[in-house]
Amino acid sequence: MTDLYDNVNEAQLQADASSTLLTYGSKFHPDIITQAKGIYIYTASGHRMLDWTSGQMSCLIGHGNCEIVEVVTKHAKSLDHLFSGMLSPPVISLAKRLIALTPPGLDKAFFLSTGGESNEAALRLAKLYTGKYEVVGLSASWHGMGGAANGAQYKTGRSGYGPVLPGNFALPAPNAYRSIFRHPDGSYDWRTELDYGFSLIDCQSAGSLAAVIVEPILSSGGMHPLPPGYLKALKEHCERRGMLLITDEAQTAIGRAGDMFAFMHEGDGIVPDILTLSKTLGNGLPLSAVLTSDKIAQFAKEANYMFYTTHVNDPLPAAVGDKVLEIVVRDRLVERSRELGEVLQQGLRRLQSRYGCIGDVRGRGLMAGVEIVTDKTTKAPGMELGDRVGTRMTELGLWAQLGTMKSFSGVFRISPPITISLEELQEGLDIMEKAFATTEGTMPLY
């Protein structure tokens, strides 16, 4: 370990990476990362950056959390991996703790490794339960790279790989900033948009609609929260068609968006038929979950539902997830995320009032989006400008963008660990201000 991180020859590592690593969707970051601690990441050259994407939107309670390190060390020594049909105390403890936090209707759980995997399992379960195969997703969605999950996502990654699974349909993704569906007063008419979307799906369906899968906040799609009332209306559409509602809370759950689970935000009693978790549950370790009702779970048991993987219900990641939930509840981090989220939104809106290139600010809790435009009237996307502002932020010590994929450019996706302090939050906002102030084309308004 010491040899790996001490006296790093960054040029040699980059050369080795170029000669050995296969690319997979984005350019590699130009610096080698050698340490992550708390809310900071460090490069081989010693450059420190506030990590405002929590790794891959995952390190909910910070990098190198001492309690998580202790759990990993303990279970790596004593109980790491088992035959997939075996049970262990960490798995049962995690299931009990998780189910205690969900409302009735989410009564049973099992655990996998990644968000894409949990969405594959959820869609497979929905198809078995309904006896149907057609799946509806939102047009700016991201659900994973497996066959069923990838077929139900539309943000990017569909072109060039041949046909997806049959029976996939897209609803127009809610976008209060850009949608053409408007009331006479100019406000966003999401209900007409949703109803119209389903009218088109009904025209195309072969009569086998099984499920709708949605994120409560469309993260890869630009950090768009579903409008108030949207999930309730969506559930009603599902019930009229005998479909299940699946909510994918890879990024929004466990306090990230200011509620334990983001679908609970509206308080209207809507409970999805299936809930998938990942990212935040494992604090950066590969852990995901599928939760559903007793009724669906009993059907699945009797129908011999199968989603058997090498790492299903693995004890080590389950122990980490159990500790994450314990810490979040014990330290009242959901409430903290909600309170600091208000500070974050205020700070971002203040920036919006000072720079004409910020077309929109949105989000909930410690999950925010800042959309860059080149013209506030036409809302022309400022992808190239966003890239330059992001580069400047990185130079100044703030990592506030997921990557270099063009589909993410123009919208900064912000989601720091929810353990961030008020001082650290302000530090990041100050860096953003400096980045906008020192980047050409940001259109200062003062």
Give the residue numbers annotated as catalytic, written as ranges: 142, 215, 248, 251, 279, 413
Q: How far apart are CA 324 and CA 95, in angstroms?
A: 13
**One-letter identity of residue 415:** S
Helices (H), 355-399: 383-396
Q: How far apart are CA 417 and CA 279, in angstroms?
A: 12
Residues contacting residue 249 through CB under 8 Å, at least 6 positions apart: 215, 216, 261, 262, 263, 275, 276, 277
Do 140 and 221 touch, CB atoms closer than 8 A? yes
Instruction: Give the containing element (helix H, strand E) for 348.
Output: helix 333-354
Q: Which sign does the torsion angle of CA 149, 154, 160, 164 carry?
A: positive
Q: How far apart are CA 363 and CA 299, in angstroms?
A: 37
61, 79, 311, 320, 356 from 317: Cα distances, Å: 15, 10, 10, 5, 45
DSSP code for 91 = H
Do 170 and 154 touch, CB atoms closer than 8 A? yes
> In which residue are the tokens 């790996």 written?
4
